[in-house]
Amino acid sequence: MTDPIRHLTEAGRLGRFYVDGAWRDPAGVERAAVIDPATEAAVAEIALGNADDVEAAVAAARRAFPAWSRTEPSERAALLDRVHALVLDRLELFARALTAEMGAAITYARTAQVPLAAAHLRVARDNLATFPFLSQRGTTAIAREAIGVCALITPWNWPLYQITAKVGPALAAGCTVVLKPSELSPLSALLFAEVMDEAGCPAGVFNLVNGAGPVVGEALATHPEVDMISITGSTRAGVLVAQAAAPTVKRVAQELGGKSPNVVLPDADLARCIPLGVAAAMRNLGQSCSAPTRMIVPRDRLAEVEALAKATASAFLVGDPSREETTHGPIANRAQFDRIQRMIRIGIEEGAKLVTGGPGLPEGCEAGLFARPTVFSEVRRDMAIAQEEIFGPVLAILPYDTVEEAIEIANDTIYGLGAHVHGTDLEQARRVAGRIRAGQVHLNAPDWDPQAPFGGYKRSGNGREYGREGMEEYLEIKAILGYDR
């Protein structure tokens, strides 16, 4: 069966949580509709948890932690291997869930959202084989031990991808987890809980509670038996979680907002890098915290950049996400759609040059949360569209006169999550990358690397995900002096 809603309904999962190795009814009676953004129709209904559900899940994770944290790395790797295989085996089911819950174009869900999510599980498994959980420095042993019970809060824009980016390394480290996915895109999370169960995950090691951030998220952040909380979301949400977690002094890892620059150096091959830059900015409809939505280009090549950007954005096919030929589906939810429309209008009011797109629905779309891929040029760095995270298919082109000015523009933001640099002279590109205050920099559109650590400077958060560094976030360090005398 490839219909995720029918599958979850027949299995009795939609109104239940996965706690202590079993599917359980919620403690309360609150429910929430799952909205298909292509039609704005309710397609399913899920249960919303409360503090009692959180209590049960945390207690289960606490009970499971001593035994799970003492398992051999090979045993944890074997579980991750089974989960990885099951996710790939159910690729079509996951892909259709992503299309239904957040509007991902089906082809993009199949070729990016699901396979990249599976890669995080593979990386976590592989890193276990060589990770030095115990090392020596002279006569002192350095032990790296699982931090404990971890609460994982994941967003609506990359639902499955962010789940595996957290669950994989947390379990690899020997932690037990309570997952709170976004209530706006919960279907893929329920399918993932099924996978964990069928892979033979020990009871209490993985738990799932759906719910709203101010209820379930806050209960997890304040819970004294939660040792760490990892959140991917808006900077505002990250601040609230950190404040709630502070009294219990738990570790807080945050992957938050971004306004990433794409610095196009004077010697860059525009015919190659501008289409790639536009595509990167509007990947997943621009609903990516690291999307390079500020394209910083030489002023004397601005006209050429505009022409290339317009041609690229105009070629996108926005529409029904279930159609194979669609490149971009709808915006994931009404609140985000309304924000994008408002920011496009602000850009026009601020005096930015509208190259293509604009407010309103794309041609051929009469309903649904569809946005027009929009490109602004002649953008000043003090404009709202150059400073605020729009989280939609909106690109701002900012001209510069010198490379030094380009670097200043790139760093003129409260965020510091990602960045791109394009240039034929690789040494110059490397020097520019070294001066950009961001946690990850892409030189000349490289392939995605799941081993590359990902995280932010400034208000983009703290801590790192992906690769070996992602697993290290879930570990404590213990020094044992006199270990070898």
The per-residue pLDDT for range 49-83, each reduced to its tens digit, is 999 999 999 999 999 999 999 999 999 999 999 99
Going through 274-340 in order, the beta strands assigned E by DSSP cover: 294-298
Residues 293 and 159 in one domain: no
**CA angle (172 as vertex; 168, 174 as ends), nearest 5:** 125
Determine phi and psi for 140, rounding to 5 degrees: -105, 135
Whether 255 is catalytic is yes
Residues 191 and 83 in one domain: yes
Residues 162 and 288 in one domain: no
User: What residues make up the domain containing 296?
Assistant: 261-449
- 418-434 residue pLDDT tens: 999 999 999 999 999 99
Determine phi and psi for 80, rounding to 5 degrees: -60, -35
Residues 131 and 235 in one domain: yes
What contacts 79, CB < 8 A, 6 or more positions away?
171, 199, 200, 201
Positive or negative CA dihedral for 45, 50, 55, 61?
positive
Residue 455 lies in a domain: no
Report the b/e string of 29-39 with b at 16+ CB within 10 A.
eeebebbbbbe
pTM above 0.75, yes or no: yes
Residue 225 lies in a domain: yes
Residue 485 lies in a domain: no
Residue 454 lies in a domain: no
Confidence of residue 99 (pLDDT cuts 50, 70, 90): very high
Dihedral of the CA atoms 156, 162, 163, 166 (nearest 10)?
-140
Residues 139 and 160 in one domain: yes
Decide if pLDDT at 485 tops 80. no
Catalytic residue among 289, 306, 465, 473: 289
Residue 456 lies in a domain: no
Residues 295 and 436 in one domain: yes
> For 248, how many CA atoms within 13 A lie in the half-sphere containing its CB?
19
Residue 25 lies in a domain: yes
Residues 179 and 266 in one domain: no
Catalytic residue among 194, 218, 255, 389: 255
Task: Tell me, rounded to whole angstroms, the distance of Cα 248 from its chain centroid.
Answer: 26
For residue 73, what is the domain's CATH number?
A: 3.40.605.10
CA distances, 471 to each of 42, 131, 231, 365 (Å): 37, 10, 15, 43
* Percent share of the chain, pLDDT over 70: 100
pLDDT of residue 484: 86
- 168-215 residue pLDDT tens: 999 999 999 999 999 999 999 999 999 999 999 999 999 999 999 999
Residues 107 and 250 in one domain: yes
Residues in the chain: 485
Confidence of residue 239 (pLDDT cuts 50, 70, 90): very high
Confidence of residue 125 (pLDDT cuts 50, 70, 90): very high
CA distances, 287 to each of 9, 131, 318, 361, 437 (Å): 29, 33, 15, 17, 22
Residues 469 and 415 in one domain: no
For residue 370, what is the domain's CATH number?
A: 3.40.309.10
Residues 96 and 185 in one domain: yes
CA distances, 29 to each of 16, 90, 211 (Å): 11, 31, 12
Residue 67 lies in a domain: yes
Q: Cα separation of 420 and 277, whole Å? A: 8
Residues 317 and 278 in one domain: yes
Residue 236 lies in a domain: yes
Q: Look at the chain and report how many structural domains it folds into.
A: 2
Residues 136 and 243 in one domain: yes
pLDDT of residue 402: 98
Q: Cα separation of 60 and 197, whole Å? A: 15
Whether 175 is catalytic is no
